[in-house]
Amino acid sequence: MSLPNYTSWNYRIWHYTYLTICGLVFFFLIAPLFIILPLSFNAEQYIHFSAKMLALDPEGFSLRWYEDMIYGTKNPWGLAAKNSIIIAFFATIGSTILGTVAALGLSSRHMPYKAAFMALLISPMIVPLIISGTAIFFFMAKVGLAATHTGIVLAHIILGTPFVVITVTATLTGFDHSVTRAAASLGSNPVNTFMKITLPLILPGVISGALFAFVTSFDEVVVVLFLAGLETTTIPIQMWVGLREQLSPTIMAVATCLIIMSTLILVSAELLRRRSERLRGINR
Amino acid sequence: MSTEQILSSDGIPLEISLKKAERRNKIKAILLVAPLFLFLLITYVFPIGDMLFRSVDDRMITKMLPNTFTAIDKWDGKDLPEEPVYAALYKDLSYLKKNKTYGKIIARLNYEKGGFSSLIKKTVRKINKFEEGNYKEQFIEVHKRWGQIEYMGALKNASPNWSYAKYLKGVDLKFDQERNIIQQPEDRRIHKILWLRTLKVAFWVTIFCFILAYPISYLLATLPMKYSNLLMICVLLPFWTSLLVRTSSWMVLLQQQGPINDLIVMLGLAANDARPELMYNVIGTFVAMTQILLPFMVLPLYSVMKTISPSLMRAGKSLGGTPFVAFRKIYFPLTVPGIGAGSLLVFILAIGYYITPALVGGASGSLISNTIAYHMKSSLDWSFAAALGTMLLVGVLTIFWIYNKLVGVDNIKLG
């Protein structure tokens, strides 16, 4: 970002002030996440930088909270992690299938009332979670699915599908429909055409939608707070409970694991997005 | 021109055959959307309708006190009701006592007016000793509240099958014993404050997100790809990170012995023993929500700014405009769609926020969602929670409708 020689002093001062402001905003965005990492390695029981930590003394650091997270006797993290993964897995599959199929229909130029259907299908993303949670809780209680895995999976499918619908319809906007017609004219049936031609082309969009659905389910806490029972507790529930009681270093350890996970998901989502743009021939 | 129709290979007129194919395609598209549509209809749209229904449904108590309500209907609410009302009340209460189902009406009547709980319990305990005739006197003898017009008025107010009383309560109004709409007593007016606070927080969070997002979106849109991709991670990483993780990092930062307070003390802005409260109040809610919702402002702004050609600004400057004039007259107007999209998105999300205010907001920083959760989980006044939820939903859907008109739902982009 070097400036040409002819720029005036006024402009230079303005330019560097602007860059400083941007730097501060980026710092505001990202720094809060990194405060958690060192604290999770704290040897002491407080959420505070001890003198030893600040002096970078190895004795100030330890892995005891990670040990506590995994082996702690009274710790619910094992059960919570198992539940979270099972629920997120099935919710992702459900959202991805329902969402992708619906997106195929929505992108067809023969679909009537497209905007109205789209608005309805993505409404779970817009309606405040507390309202969705209340409504879904009444429903699940009525059909006897409250506090069951099935109930939570269904609720998370509701919340996850809008993301799949949005990402897949976005991928389908640049889709060249002549390839499917070519396949049909060569004698392929619709299912075969979908599996062999359409799906591979829209796969990046489908996978990034699936990633969104997975993260939505894995992080979701408001609706689960209404639906979860003792046996169906999840990681977000346990974090919520822990944060309401007191900040413990074990929570910092769990949070660190979650940050690492989201970094991995971010990287794969970015790679997918670029691959999708390349496949569809969009150059930026 | 010949009137003869063009036939397709199987002898059917082309027009009909084309229409048939079009219809088949239409049905195919509808069938593809149908599974998700039906799924959402059953598990989501109907339950929300059910919630709406629940907020006005008041039939439970009508079923439990049928005779009383028929009798009290004729009462004008001015003087104490006559003997038949009390006779009917005796009939209903002794029936409920026999079946041991009076628990439900206690809770229901207590929402109507505090004090009904002890009144009903005491009456039910003594109801077997009642003698026939002159029930009015016997009721008042058991508890003097049966002789107070406010209690009988409250009982009358509970009689309609459908009631919008919960909505009135949501804006700090209520019925008096003559069914006029009046304000709640001063110490009970809490919901208006909550609505205003929710709107205020959502408004200021939106404004601050805009102020912070605009410069960095511009930087991201104008930097060469290899730098901007790196900086984009700063926006996307918080976006992908669990909400609870981000909230807990704010709890660490804002706590009394936390780094921000350390810094304030170090700079000499406050004494060590008088550290300012940054958390469990509206400041905590506000700061944390701004950081958490910032990516939702940056992403739409960025995608709009990306499409604005830099040559427009150069043209403006070459025609004699200062950079500031060129920005104000050319660049800024072109970014307005992005500002609209981002602001509405942030506002919609902020107005229904629950987790962050619940954890860092304390009592003075809690929003309307927290009250809904409180009535769902603690006070168990579900119909009131449903009424507040419906009010919030109507607000959000109105904004969503505006958003749809201005931006279009199919233009929502993720990452």
For the purposes of burial, counting CB atoms within 10 Å of the CB of B276, is it exposed (0-12), middle (13-18) or buried (19 or more)? Answer: middle
Q: What is the DSSP-derived secondary structure letter of residue A58?
A: G
The amino acid that residue A95 corresponds to is S
From residue A48, how far is each of A44, A60, B258, B268 by CA, in Å? Answer: 9, 11, 7, 20
pLDDT reading at B413 higher than 60: no
How many CB atoms lie under 10 A from the CB of residue B359?
Answer: 24
Which one-letter DSSP state was computed for residue B338?
H
Yes or no: is domain A76-245 CATH 2.60.260.20?
A: no
Encoded amino acid at B359, one letter: L
Asked whether the beta carbons of residue A29 and residue B351 sit closer than 8 angstroms, the reply is: no
pLDDT the model gives residue B415: 46
Collapsed DSSP state (helix, strand, coil) of residue A192 = helix
Q: Report the percentage of chain B scoring pLDDT > 70.
A: 96
Helix (H) or strand (E) holding B266: helix B259-266
Model confidence band, residue A155 (pLDDT cutoffs 50, 70, 90):
very high
Contacts of B51 in chain A (CB under 8 A): 131, 134-135, 138
Neighbours of A57 (CB within 10 A): 12
ipTM of the assembly? 0.87
Closest Cβ–Cβ partner in A19, A32, A270 for B250? A32
What pLDDT is attached to residue B208? 95
Q: Which residue from A36, A111, A240 is facing B252, i.e. has the nearest CB?
A: A36
Of B26 and A49, which is predicted with more confidence? B26
Angle formed at CA A139 by CA A138 and CA A144, multiple of 5 degrees: 100
Give per-residue pLDDT as tens, A208-254.
Answer: 899 999 999 999 999 999 998 888 889 999 999 888 887 788 888 88
Residue B162 reports pLDDT greater than 80: yes
Say how many C-beta atoms besides its own lie within 10 A of residue B134's C-beta: 12
User: What CA–CA distance (Å, rounded) separates B327 from B334?
Assistant: 10
**CA neighbor of B369 nearest in space, from B285, B251, B244, B245:** B285
Instruction: Judge whether B252 and A39 are in contact, CB under 8 Å.
Output: yes
The beta-strand segments (E) located in B158-290 are 173-175, 181-183
Are the beta carbons of A167 and B48 separated by less than 8 Å?
no
Contact list, A165 vs chain B (CB under 8 Å): 36
**Choice between B155 and B292, residue whose per-residue pLDDT is larger:** B292
Q: Which residue carries 């992403």 as its tokens?
A: B299
Query: Which of A33, A135, A273 faces B51 most closely, judged by CB atoms?
Result: A135
Residues of chain B with pLDDT > 90, as a percent, come to: 25
Task: Please answer whether residues B129 and B90 qualify as being in contact, where contact means their C-beta atoms are separated by less than 8 angstroms.
Answer: no
Whether the CA torsion B316, B319, B324, B329 is positive or negative: it is negative
Length of chain A: 284
Model pLDDT, residue B409: 61
A284 pLDDT band, cuts 50/70/90, is: very low
Q: Which residue has the higher pLDDT, B8 or A193?
A: A193
What is the torsion angle, in degrees rounded to the nearest 10, for the CA atoms of residue B209, residue B279, residue B251 and residue B237? 0
Question: How does residue A283 score in pLDDT terms, banded at 50, 70 and 90?
Answer: very low
| Residue B42 DSSP one-character state | I
Residue A20: pLDDT band (50, 70, 90) is: very high
Task: Say whether B219 and A11 touch across the interface (CB within 8 A).
Answer: no
Residue B170 has a pLDDT of 87
| pLDDT of residue A280 exceeding 70 | no
pLDDT exceeds cutoff 70 at B237 = yes
Q: Are B301 and B342 in contact (CB under 8 A)?
A: yes
pLDDT at site B4: 65
Average pLDDT over every residue of B340-358? 90
**d(Cα B44, Cα B175) in Å, to the nearest integer?**
33
Q: Do residues B243 and A219 make contact, with C-beta atoms less than 8 angstroms apart?
A: yes
E-strand ranges in B5-118 read none
- Do B45 and A119 touch, CB atoms closer than 8 A? no
* pLDDT computed for residue A64 by the predictor: 76
> If you average pLDDT over residues B16-40, what whole number do you get?
91
Amino acid at B103: G
Residues from chain A that touch B32, judged by Cβ atoms under 8 A, are: 101-102, 104-106, 108
Q: Are the beta carbons of B280 and B362 closer than 8 angstroms?
A: yes
All structural domains of chain B, each given as residue ranges with its CATH number in brackets, are 59-161 (no CATH), 191-411 (1.10.3720.10)
A87 residue type, one letter: I
Cα–Cα distance, A160 to A226 (Å, whole number):
17
Residue B228: pLDDT over 60: yes
Mean pLDDT score of chain A: 86
Chain B hits for A101, CB-CB cut-off 8 Å, are 32-33, 35-36
Q: What percent of chain A has pLDDT over 70?
A: 96
Q: Identify the pLDDT of residue B414.
A: 55
If pLDDT is split at 50, 70 and 90, which confidence band does A271 have?
A: confident
pLDDT, residue A45, reads: 75
Q: pLDDT exceeding 90 applies to what percent of chain A? A: 38
Other CB atoms within a 10 A radius of the CB of residue A134 amount to 29
User: Under an 8 A CB cutoff, do B348 and A102 touch?
Assistant: no
Beta-bridged to residue A61, according to DSSP, are A42
Quote the CA–CA distance of A233 and A241 in Å, as a whole number: 10
The C-alpha torsion from A260 through B343 and B254 to B234, rounded to 10°, is: 30
* Cβ atoms within 10 Å of B330's Cβ, excluding its own: 16
pLDDT in tens, B53-98: 988 888 888 888 888 888 888 887 777 888 888 888 888 888 888 8
Note whether B396 contacts A127, CB cutoff 8 Å: yes
Q: How far is B218 from chain A (nearest CA, A)?
A: 10
pLDDT score at A87: 95
Q: How high is the pLDDT of residue B80?
A: 81
Nearest Cα neighbor of A63 from A51, A54, A72, A76 is A72
What is the SS3 string spanning A172-232?
A: HHCCCCHHHHHHHHCCCCHHHHHHHHHHHHHHHHHHHHHHHHHHHHHHCCHHHHHHCCCCC
Mean pLDDT within B171-192: 80
Mean pLDDT in residue range B186-193: 84
Contacts of B219 in chain A (CB under 8 A): 19, 22
Interface test with A, best of B242, B254, B347 (most A CBs within 10 A): B242
* B11 conformational bin, left if phi > 0, alpha if psi -120 to 50, beta if neither: left
Which position has the higher pLDDT, B158 or A169? A169
**A158 vs B241: CB contact, 8 Å cut-off?**
no
Q: Where are the domains of chain A?
A: 9-65, 76-245
Nearest CA in chain B to A122: B409
Of how many residues is chain B composed? 415
Q: Measured between beta carbons, which residues in chain B are less than 8 angstroms from residue A53?
A: none
